[in-house]
Structure 1
Amino acid sequence: MKLDPVSLRLFVAVMKESTIAAAAAREHLAASAVSRRMAELEASLCVSLFTRSNKGTEPTAAAFALLNLARGVLNDMDGIASQMQEYGSGVRGHVRIVANISAITQFLPAELQRFMALYPQVDVRLQEQISTVIARSVAENAADVGILNAGHYGERIELLPYHLDELILAVPKDHPLARRKSVRLADALAYDFVGAHPGSAINNLLTTAASAVGLPLRLRIQVTSFDALCLMVHAGLGIGVLPRKSASLYHGTLAIRAVRLAEPWAHRQLSLCIRSDDSLSRVGRLLVDHLRASTPVAKP
């Protein structure tokens, strides 16, 4: 079946004008040409659109059904050119983001809200992943922009500075460590931990740091989100490590306290990740520029 938009437009004109002759005059065509188009349309659709007699033509029930469909198709086609112009100017399109949970819970909600207020026609698609998967997704063009922990991932990607991220120790308010202003990991390892999901950057940091001081990391429970981690800490099932701003979301509702981790690895650099500057679409470039503009300037 081959549907010709010109034939659909002529069909709509015939239905509106009630006769082929009037539709032909409106479209500046010969009536025979319009009649031939209607016959070809009927043949393509394998249905009779008009009953013909010496009194003229009468639309069938199928013609009225086609009229609504044809108008929808033609309206969509009329909008293609203007929409493509909007894509070219960077005000319409879609951009795929993959980000780690630290960025999603601390920085992205407000920054994406401002971006989408500026560009309401841009469709932003966000997915949470761990940093190694983020790097691979961007390298393989499964995502346009990534936000991950700074590091070396062995992928063909570029990293751009984003926010600084401080990890803290979340403990119940009645915990022995709750009275301390700061704590070394070696002291915290005497207690059970609520860990993040396997493969997460925070779990890897804790495992490496515990190994460096020669002490075991006792992961009593592993969860997949910071809110679940805070709920487990609140319930007294262990202590946990998470970003300070993520923990602050629960200070008013849960009986937990954030204690500073006196460790150099507790201060992390988050990075924006792209394949290359040339690989970004217009809306991808707008988003990257917006996110970089939201990044605080590092103090000397």
Structure 2
Amino acid sequence: MRFDIADLTLFIHIAESGSITGGAQRSHLALASASERVKNMEFRAGVSLLTRRPRGIGLTPAGDILLRHARRIVGEHDRLCAGLTAFAAGYGGTQRIYANTSAASWLLPGRIAAWLSAHPGALLEVEEKPSAEAVSCIAAGLGEAGLISDAVDAGDLIVEPVAADNLVVITADAHPLAGRSPLALREVVNMPFVGLESGSALQQYISARAAAAGHALIYRIRAGHFEGVCEMVGRGIGIAIVPEIQARLYARRFALRSMALSDGWARRSICLCYREWAALAPGMQALLGWIRAGASASQR
């Protein structure tokens, strides 16, 4: 059986939009043409790929398999085209790496600046994503590598710690806990908290650790990013548990105090994450090796 890139792209668009009509529009095809392409794909595959519903479509188990591989193949095709375009323009191709908030805000900028200075022909794209989302993208073949928290389950992917990302308690400067370091979670569980949104992997991790100890944290308010959390804490709304580097970034601006957490689970790492080293493009291997070497140098 043979599927071309246009077929696979159309199938992805149909799956993401939930209808053949939506997929046709995103692929700039007439509805009749898109429907005919889907029928031909099902004929060549010998199985049904879509289930027709009163409102839109769903994927059959075979459709799920096709979607997973289609995303990887189309992603590789797009990267191939981008790489050749960059090469033709005199560059060595664009390397894309995912990074969680902590890595994107403090770990990568200095190391990437040094990398680009040492490699004048390199093109680099850093895409900020939550660790769990980065893991999903790498596992699905949508990207080669990323920097994630070791608090996230990476499944069968390879992870290598490259930097500490410990959690600390932050309070307003005038808070009774200010300066009482280290603190254990049990000492603060009954205080009002400021947290990230409930879908945040970090917040779920913290809440799970509290639940494992028999406690439920009380959140007065949640914010969508660390800056919002730190500002609320600085205004005395509550306390928070955040990565140490985020506490340092906003300490002066919002008059914060940070105290180490003595609980073992608060000692975390930022990790390189990828599928197989041998499967990485040479440019990505070189970039990850540079990040790894920078981590080793900073620890000496």
TM-score above 0.5: yes
Q: Give the CA deviation at 1:196.
A: 1.6
Alignment of 1:176 with 2:176, yes or no, is yes
- What SS is found at the alignment partner of 1:153? coil
Distance in 2, matches of 1:267 and 1:174, equals 26
- Aligned residue for 2:72? none
Contact 2:171 2:177 in 1 (8 A): yes
Alignment of 1:271 with 2:275, yes or no, is no
Distance in 2, matches of 1:212 and 1:246, equals 25
- Aligned residue for 1:161? 161
Alignment of 1:260 with 2:260, yes or no, is yes
Distance in 2, matches of 1:264 and 1:117, equals 38
- Aligned residue for 1:94? 94
- Aligned residue for 1:14? none
CA spacing shift, 1:210–1:81, aligned 2, 3 Å: closer
- Aligned residue for 1:70? none
Distance in 1, matches of 2:192 and 2:132, equals 27
- Aligned residue for 2:87? 83
Deviation track 1:10-49 (CA, whole Å, cap 9, x = no partner) reads xxxxxxxxxxxxxxxxxxxxxxxxxxxxxxxxxxxxxxxx
Distance in 2, matches of 1:179 and 1:270, equals 26
Distance in 1, matches of 2:238 and 2:175, equals 10
Match for 2:191: what amino acid?
Answer: Y
Contact 1:197 1:223 in 2 (8 A): yes
Match for 1:166: what amino acid?
Answer: N
Deviation track 1:140-186 (CA, whole Å, cap 9, x = no partner) reads 22122111122673644222221121111110011111131221111
- Aligned residue for 2:215? 215
Q: TM-score normalized by structure 2?
A: 0.66
Within a 5 Å distance, the mapping from 1:1-300 to structure 2 comes to 83-84=87-88, 92-150=92-150, 153=153, 155-296=155-296
Q: TM-score normalized by structure 1?
A: 0.66
The farther-off stretch of 257-266 and 119-128 is: 119-128
Match for 2:132: what amino acid?
Answer: T
CA spacing shift, 1:244–1:82, aligned 2, 3 Å: closer
Contact 1:136 1:155 in 2 (8 A): no
Match for 2:260: what amino acid?
Answer: R
Count the aligned residue pairs: 217
CA spacing shift, 1:84–1:282, aligned 2, 3 Å: farther
Distance in 2, matches of 1:261 and 1:207, equals 15
Contact 1:202 1:241 in 2 (8 A): no
Q: Percent identity?
A: 28
Match for 1:132: what amino acid?
Answer: A
Contact 2:173 2:257 in 1 (8 A): yes
Larger CA Rg, structure 1 vs 2: 1
Distance in 2, matches of 1:219 and 1:82, equals 48
- What SS is found at the alignment partner of 2:127? strand
Structure 2, gaps ≥5 residues long: 1-83
CA spacing shift, 1:226–1:111, aligned 2, 3 Å: same
CA spacing shift, 1:242–1:81, aligned 2, 3 Å: closer
Distance in 2, matches of 1:129 and 1:290, equals 21
Distance in 2, matches of 1:81 and 1:244, equals 41
- What SS is found at the alignment partner of 2:174? coil
Contact 2:131 2:152 in 1 (8 A): no
- What SS is found at the alignment partner of 1:126? strand
Q: Give the CA deviation at 1:202.
A: 2.2
Match for 1:83: what amino acid?
Answer: F
Match for 2:279: what amino acid?
Answer: S
Distance in 1, matches of 2:198 and 2:294, equals 31
Distance in 2, matches of 1:270 and 1:82, equals 30
CA spacing shift, 1:178–1:98, aligned 2, 3 Å: same
Distance in 2, matches of 1:198 and 1:127, equals 22
Distance in 2, matches of 1:159 and 1:207, equals 24
Structure 1, gaps ≥5 residues long: 1-79
Distance in 2, matches of 1:93 and 1:263, equals 44
CA spacing shift, 1:199–1:296, aligned 2, 3 Å: farther
- What SS is found at the alignment partner of 1:177? coil
